[in-house]
């Protein structure tokens, strides 16, 4: 692993120097010629004043809540129904540098475009730069086909192909760069990116259907030879408008995830394969996917899709989407030493949205089992399937929301209500106190898994309970580029725990304050 970390450090250093050089070249070019508006697109500058829980004092929860403060968000600022279709919190200070070129070629019907896309995140003491699926693309439109709508395209991703994913809703999508395990769970989302995986995608698109085939790969440390080895994935998908208002789509993939580092099955192949499908009914709005799947262009009409204010064209528009994913992953079998076993992972979602004049409403429901949540860092017990005696429960949640826009004042108040059953893992093998545990650590323990890397260990012989959350929202659009946002949320979560040191010197889990009353106050500029 030391060798692998050294390789990643060198990559990051080289990438930082490359991006710095690109920014310098862009700055020099801007001095030498007329600057083009849109080279930087969807910049978001946010002043966030928040308190994750006004009911507790610092040190009473894990992680600790410091009190009212200004600064970048943590997962505690969010509710389980937030960020359903994006990887971003909405509170980041970020900017996308898009150096874009689109020109016709010397051949009829063929044009080429390319974009260097770099995202800068400003987290106060930490500023990171990430490639956002920079690409080179060739597009061929045969004679008689509809230009810009139909055609054959080849897209090459020199650095990262994270935006080429499986699934359709971001929260239950899979197959991004992180599908190749690198040992560091993305606890802070975009703050700690996975190792980029270059890739390629060939797509044929007609007016009522499309089909595509892709591949991606990156280096993973081989545990047997202690050297990096390239692992690959094969992806593909298709979609068909059965009628103008009803679309069916499906995609699937197989990924090699390196060798198993467990000593009893050392270097046994780890892989994951499966498929996703979605059925969408829509009236008045096009079928869409997460904005985090889209390729960046410095086209004003495209950039407005990212962070622009909500549009209210009037009349009815609505969409309903049903999505399901099934995969299998090959890992070590803890019940039969020296063998491997494939284990299923499933996820699904139903999402309905409706708009009438200046009223909006939505209903969302989602299911992710624990093996799906942990697919990119395989296994609750690393690189093992669950023991036969383990009790594993999936994540389930439902939420409903409504808001109304007042066009004269540009005010949009709203409310969201939701209930969640977090995923959990319980096993007799999960003993925290060793062979002779004290009373506070004896018995079966349940670990509640809210997301990859975000867990809560319950006291012994207790079980996970549902979480209730409600949030009031307020948005004031000052202009097309400026908005003030307020959120007041209340949550009841009886699965929150903290650790205290017992009389025998061991840290034991105890239940923490289950009530959370917090707020976010935001002034944001988007340009």
Looking at the fold, whether 30 and 45 belong to one and the same domain comes out as no
Give the total number of structural domains in the chain.
2
Bridge partners of 471, per DSSP, are 416, 489
DSSP annotation of 39 reads: S
Looking at the fold, whether 21 and 57 belong to one and the same domain comes out as no
Looking at the fold, whether 196 and 171 belong to one and the same domain comes out as yes
Looking at the fold, whether 20 and 96 belong to one and the same domain comes out as no
pLDDT digits (tens, 9 = 90+) for 251-298: 999 999 999 999 999 999 999 999 999 999 999 888 877 888 888 776
> 235 with 214: CB under 8 angstroms?
yes
Looking at the fold, whether 373 and 480 belong to one and the same domain comes out as yes
Question: For residue 212, what are its two tokens?
Answer: 């595509």
Nearest CA-CA partner of 187 in 465, 448, 373, 419:
373
Question: What CATH number does residue 366 fall under?
Answer: 2.40.170
Q: Which residues of the chain have pLDDT under 50?
A: 1-38, 183-192, 300-306
Looking at the fold, whether 12 and 116 belong to one and the same domain comes out as no
Question: For residue 249, what are its two tokens?
Answer: 């789509």
Burial class for 38, CB neighbours closer than 10 Å (0-12, 13-18, 19+): middle
CA angle 89, 345, 280 (to 5 degrees): 65
Helix, strand or coil for residue 263?
Answer: helix
* Domain ranges, residue 216: 36-526
Looking at the fold, whether 27 and 111 belong to one and the same domain comes out as no
> 262 with 300: CB under 8 angstroms?
no
- In this prediction, residue 10 carries a pLDDT of 41
> 290 with 173: CB under 8 angstroms?
yes
Looking at the fold, whether 376 and 477 belong to one and the same domain comes out as yes
> 264 with 337: CB under 8 angstroms?
yes
Question: For residue 125, what are its two tokens?
Answer: 């003491």
Looking at the fold, whether 7 and 155 belong to one and the same domain comes out as no
Whether omega before 213 lies within 30 degrees of 0, making that bond cis, reads no
Q: Compute the distance between CA of residue 415 and CA of residue 321 in angstroms, rounded to an integer.
A: 22
Looking at the fold, whether 367 and 392 belong to one and the same domain comes out as yes
Contacts (Cβ under 8 Å, ≥6 apart) of 456: 447, 448, 450, 495, 496, 497
Looking at the fold, whether 20 and 85 belong to one and the same domain comes out as no
**Alpha-carbon distances, residue 229 vs 180, 198, 370, 383, 386 (angstroms):** 12, 15, 28, 18, 27
Looking at the fold, whether 123 and 133 belong to one and the same domain comes out as yes
């Amino acid at each position: 692993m030391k060798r692998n970390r050294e390789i990643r450090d060198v990559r990051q250093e080289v990438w930082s120097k490359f991006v710095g050089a690109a920014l310098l070249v862009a700055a020099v070019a801007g001095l030498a010629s007329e600057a083009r508006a849109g080279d930087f697109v969807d910049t978001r500058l946010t002043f966030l004043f928040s308190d994750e829980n006004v009911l507790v004092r610092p040190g009473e929860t894990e992680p600790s809540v410091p009190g009212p403060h200004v600064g970048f968000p943590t997962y505690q600022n969010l509710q389980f129904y937030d960020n359903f279709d994006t990887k971003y919190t909405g509170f980041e200070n970020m900017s996308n540098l898009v150096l874009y070129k689109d020109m016709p070629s010397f051949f009829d019907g063929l044009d080429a475009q390319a974009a260097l896309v770099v995202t800068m995140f400003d987290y106060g003491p930490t500023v990171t730069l990430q490639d956002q699926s920079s690409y080179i693309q060739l597009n061929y439109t045969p004679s008689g086909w509809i230009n810009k709508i139909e055609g054959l395209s080849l897209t090459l991703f020199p650095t990262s192909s994270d935006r080429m994913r499986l699934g359709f809703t971001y929260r239950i999508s899979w197959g991004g760069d992180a599908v190749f395990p690198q040992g560091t769970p993305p606890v802070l989302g975009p703050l700690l990116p996975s190792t980029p995986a270059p890739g390629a995608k060939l797509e044929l698109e007609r007016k009522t259907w499309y089909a595509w085939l892709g591949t991606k790969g990156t280096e993973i440390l081989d545990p047997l030879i202690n050297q990096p080895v390239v692992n690959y994935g094969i992806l593909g998908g298709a979609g068909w408008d059965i009628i103008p208002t009803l679309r069916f789509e499906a995609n699937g993939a197989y990924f090699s995830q390196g060798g198993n580092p467990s000593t009893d099955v050392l270097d046994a192949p780890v892989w994951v394969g499966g498929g996703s499908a979605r059925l969408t009914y829509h009236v008045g709005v096009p079928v869409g996917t997460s904005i985090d799947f889209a390729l960046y262009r410095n086209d004003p009409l495209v950039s407005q899709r990212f962070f622009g204010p909500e549009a209210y064209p009037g009349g009815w528009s609505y969409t309903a989407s049903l999505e399901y994913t099934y995969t299998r992953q090959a890992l070590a079998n803890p019940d039969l030493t020296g063998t491997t076993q494939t284990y299923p992972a499933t996820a699904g979602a139903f999402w309905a949205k409706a708009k009438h004049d200046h009223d909006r409403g939505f209903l969302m429901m989602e299911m992710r089992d624990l093996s799906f949540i942990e697919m990119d860092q395989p296994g609750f017990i690393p690189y093992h399937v669950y023991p036969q005696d383990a009790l594993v429960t999936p994540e389930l949640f439902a939420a409903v929301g409504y808001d109304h826009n007042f066009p004269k004042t540009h005010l949009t108040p709203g409310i969201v209500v939701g209930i969640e059953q977090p995923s959990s893992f319980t096993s007799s093998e999960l003993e925290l106190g060793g062979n002779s545990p004290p009373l506070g650590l004896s018995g079966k323990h349940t670990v509640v898994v809210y997301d990859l890397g975000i867990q809560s260990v319950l006291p012994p012989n207790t079980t996970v309970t549902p979480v209730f959350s409600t949030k009031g929202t307020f948005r004031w659009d000052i202009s097309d580029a400026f908005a003030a946002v307020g959120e007041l949320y209340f949550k009841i979560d009886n699965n929150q725990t903290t650790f205290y040191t017992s009389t025998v010197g061991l840290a034991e889990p105890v239940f923490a304050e289950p009530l959370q009353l917090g707020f976010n106050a935001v002034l944001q500029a988007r340009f």
